[in-house]
Chain A
Amino acid sequence: MDIDLMLRVYPFFLEAAWTTILLSVLTALLGLTMGTLGAAARLSRFAVLRFIGAAYVSFFRGTPALIQLFILYFGGPQIGIQLDAFEAGVIGLGINAGAYMTETIRGAIISIDKGQKEAGRTLGLSNWQSFYKITLPQAGRLMVRPLGVNLNMLIKATALVAAISVVELTYTAQRYIGSTYKPFEMFLLAGILYMIIIYATGRGVAWLDRKVQIT
Chain B
Amino acid sequence: MSDKSHFVEIRHAQKSFGALEVLKDISLNVERGQIVAIIGPSGSGKSTLLRAINDLDPLTGGEVWLDGVQVNKNLPHRQYEKHINEMRQDVGMVFQHFNLFPHLTARENVTMAPKMLKGLSSAEADKLAEEQLEKVGMLDRIEYYPSRLSGGQKQRVAIARALAMKPKLMLFDEATSALDPELVDEVNAVMKKLAEEHMTMIIVTHEMDFAASVCDRVLFMDQGVVVEEGPPSVVFKNPSKDRTKEFLRKHLAGAN
Chain A residues at the B interface, C-beta cutoff of 8 Å: 113, 115-116, 118-127, 129, 133-134, 137-138, 141, 214-215
Contact = CB atoms under 8 A, between A and B. Distances in A.
B150 interface: no
Contact of B97 (A115, A121, A123): A115
B244 to A, nearest CB: 30
A127 B84 CA distance: 11
Contacts of B85: 121, 124-126
Given A118-B56, A124-B117, A126-B81, A214 B88 contact: no
A123 B99 contact: no
Interface of B: 54, 56, 81, 85-86, 88-89, 91-93, 95, 97, 99-103, 112-113, 116-117, 145, 147, 158, 161-162, 165
6 contacts: A115-B95, A123-B89, A123-B113, A124-B86, A124-B165, A127-B81
A125 B113 contact: yes
B99 A125 contact: no
Given A115-B99, A141-B103, A214-B103, A122 B88 contact: yes
Contacts of A121: 56, 85, 88
Given A123-B88, A127-B81, A137 B162 contact: no
Most buried by B among A118, A119, A137: A119
Contacts of A127: 81
Contacts of B147: 214
A133 B113 CA distance: 10
A124 B102 contact: no
A124 B113 contact: yes
A119 B101 contact: yes
Contacts of A133: 112, 116
Nearest to B161: A123
A185 B88 CA distance: 68
Contact of B103 (A126, A129, A137): A137
B95 A138 contact: no
A133 B111 CA distance: 12
